[in-house]
Amino acid sequence: MRICQVNTRKLIIAEVPVKNGLYNAEGDYTIDGVPGMGGKIVLHFVDPGGSITGKLLPTGNVKDTIEVPDIGEIEISIVDAANPVVFFEQETLVLQEQRSIK
């Protein structure tokens, strides 16, 4: 199935199990925390980079450094792949916070 994600103008291709032209819920696929089993739906995000900002790496950098009030500088990565997200190492915040407490 081809899905046009209108808010990002991106294409998603879904592999949906069917039987007699309808979704086939029978299957042995499980998802942790969800009771039961069912037919597996697989999503392929076609060229998801830059869905909101127009660039996979909106700042143009793999890593950036930002200043966080009461913590200090931390290293982050901003990635726009289907949804913009910010990655950072949890330990960075914990260590910075411990330093600021002392």
Query: How does pLDDT run across 35-66, given as a tens digit for each residue?
Result: 999 999 999 999 989 988 999 999 999 999 99
Nearest to 86 by CA among 57, 60, 51: 57
User: What is the overall mean pLDDT for the chain?
Assistant: 90
Q: Please, which residues bridge with residue 96 across strands?
A: none
pLDDT value of position 38: 95
Percent of the chain with pLDDT over 70: 91
Q: Which of 66, 68, 84 is nearest to 76 (CA)?
A: 66
- Give the start-to-end residue ranges of the domains of the chain: 1-47, 48-102
